[in-house]
Structure 1
C-alpha cells in the first residue's frame, strides 16, 4: 500500500466521503490517483507490482486444482482484482470491500479505467462488507484468501482490523479456506512476529516473499497454507 515515488505539487481532492469507518478521500497527485482513509495513506496507482505479486504468489503456493476460487480482501485501486481477472486459471474472483466510496470510484469514477474489464468479467463479484466480519460470518469457502486491507499486520488502518492478525483472527481466515488453501497477506515491511503467529495458529509452509522498493525496507507478502 505504500507509494514508491511521490510527485511534486499539491494533490487535488476529487472526492471525499464520510462513512461508517471514517473519512475516505480520493486524490489526484500529478498522474497518480491516491486513496486516503482517516488521514492514512493507503495506496496509489504508481506501481502495482506488490499487488500483482500478492495474487501470483498465492496462486504459486496453491496445488494444481482447477479453477481455484479467490477472495481478495480490499479493492483499493484495483490492481489485485485486475491482475486476477487477467489470469484465465482463476475461477470465482470475489472482492470484499467495506467502503462504498471505493466501490463507486471503480464502477462510475476515475478508478474505472483500471478495473472496468475486471468488473465486467463474469467471474468477478464485489461484496460490500467488512472483511473481518465476512471471514467470521460467511458460509462461503475459497481456495485462496489475499489480504490487502492494511499497511501490514503491525500497521492497521483501523483498530478493528488488529484482531484479524491474532490467532483468533487467523482461525477465522482458516475457516473460509478449503483444504490446503493459501493465505497471502501484504505488508509494508517484514513481520517476524506475524510469521510466528501464523505458525502458532497451525498454518503450514509459512514464508515471506520480498518486493524491492525504491527506498527503505522491502514490501513483503506473507504466505501460509491452511492448517490441516
Structure 2
C-alpha cells in the first residue's frame, strides 16, 4: 500500500493543526493527532446535503444559497450540478488555507468549480454571515465541523444552539431551508429544531456513494 504524503498544514481558529495528506489519488484532511475530518473517497453524504436541499427549492427561480464549510467541495459541486443558472451560491470557509488548497494541491479534486460565476467564497465564519442576514437566503447548508457534536472548534456549538438556530431562521426567506450534516444522529437536536420554528426531516445517508458502509445524518428543516 502506498504511504500517505503530507502536503500542507493549516491552523484552525482554535490554534490546532489541520493536515492535508495524499495517497495516490486519495486525499485526507485530518486534525493534529490523526482524527480524519474528510476523505476524498467518502463524498456521498456531503453530496446528499445539497441534493436533498435543492429538492425543496424547485419553486425558487433564482435560489440564494449559503454553504457553511468548503471542505473538499463535495457539497458545493453537488449543488452546482442541480442549481439553475440563475442561482447564487455563497461558500463561507473560516480557514483560508482550505481555499488555497482547493486551487493548489487539491486542484485535481476541485477542478474548475470555484470559477463558476454563480459561486462566491467568503473567508470568514459562516455564523457571522448568518447573524448579519435578514431573509437573505433560500437555503443555508451547514457542513461545519462534525455537526452538532463538534470536534474542532467550541464556537461552532453556537450554530446548533437555540440562539444559532434562531439566527438561521431570521436569515432565511419565508419557507427557506436549513440543511445540516452530522456524523451522528441526535434526537435532542431534532427537538431543538422544532422548538426554534423548523419542520425537520431526518435522513440517514451513506457516507460513500456505494450502498454500503457507515451512515451520516442530514436534517432538512423548513422554516415555518
Q: If the length of structure 2 is used for normalisation, what is the TM-score?
A: 0.89
In structure 1, the gaps of 5 or more residues are 1-7
Cα distance in 2 for residues equivalent to 1:19 and 1:190: 25
Distance (whole Å) between structure 1 residues aligned to residue 58 and residue 83 of structure 2: 16
Which residue in 2 is equivalent to 1:34? 28
Query: 1:106 pairs with 95, 102, 105, which one?
Result: 102
Superposed, which structure 2 residues align to 1:60-99 within 5 Å?
60-89=55-84, 91-99=87-95
- Equivalent residue, structure 2, for 1:180: 175
Which residue number in structure 1 is paired with residue 8 of structure 2?
Answer: 15
What CA distance in whole angstroms lies between the structure 1 residues aligned with 2:83 and 2:63?
10
Hey, what's the Cα distance between the residues in 1 that align with 2:134 and 2:99? 23
CA 167–118 in structure 1, closer or farther in 2 if over 3 Å, else same? same
Contact kept in structure 1, 2:92 and 2:122, CA below 8 Å: yes
- Secondary structure of residue in 2 paired with 1:61: coil
**Kept in 1: contact 2:69–2:142 (CA 8 A):** yes
> 1:61 Cα shift?
2.5
* Offset, 1:156: 3.7
CA distance in 2, matches of 1:131, 1:61: 22
Q: Alpha-carbon deviation of 1:63?
A: 4.9
In the TM superposition, what are the counterparts of 1:1-228 in structure 2 within 5 Å? 10-18=3-11, 20-22=13-15, 23-39=17-33, 40-89=35-84, 91-107=87-103, 109-138=104-133, 141-204=136-199, 206-213=200-207, 214-216=212-214, 218-227=215-224
Q: 2:28 & 2:5 partners in 1: Cα distance?
A: 10
* Structure 2 residue runs without a partner (length 5+): none
Indicate if the aligned counterparts of 1:142 and 1:176 stay in contact, CA closer than 8 A.
yes
What is the rounded CA distance, in whole Å, between the counterparts of 1:153 and 1:9 in structure 2?
Answer: 34
Contact 1:187/1:220 (8 A) holds in 2: yes
Task: Kindly state the Cα deviation for residue 29 of structure 1 after the two structures are TM-superposed.
Answer: 3.1
The CA distance in 2 between the partners of 1:158 and 1:132, in whole Å, is 13
How far the C-alpha of 1:113 sits from its partner, in A, is 2.2
Q: Deviations over 1:90-132 (max 9, x none)?
A: 600110001011010012x122223232111100000111112
User: Residue deviations 1:121-165, cap 9 Å, x none?
Assistant: 100000111112221234671101000012121234211111111
Distance in 1 separating the partners of 2:58 and 2:176 = 9
**Contact 1:15–1:26 (8 Å) recurs in 2:** yes
Shift of 1:11: 2.3
Cα-Cα RMSD: 1.9
Q: Between Structure 1 and Structure 2, how many residues are aligned?
A: 217
2:146 aligned counterpart, secondary structure: coil
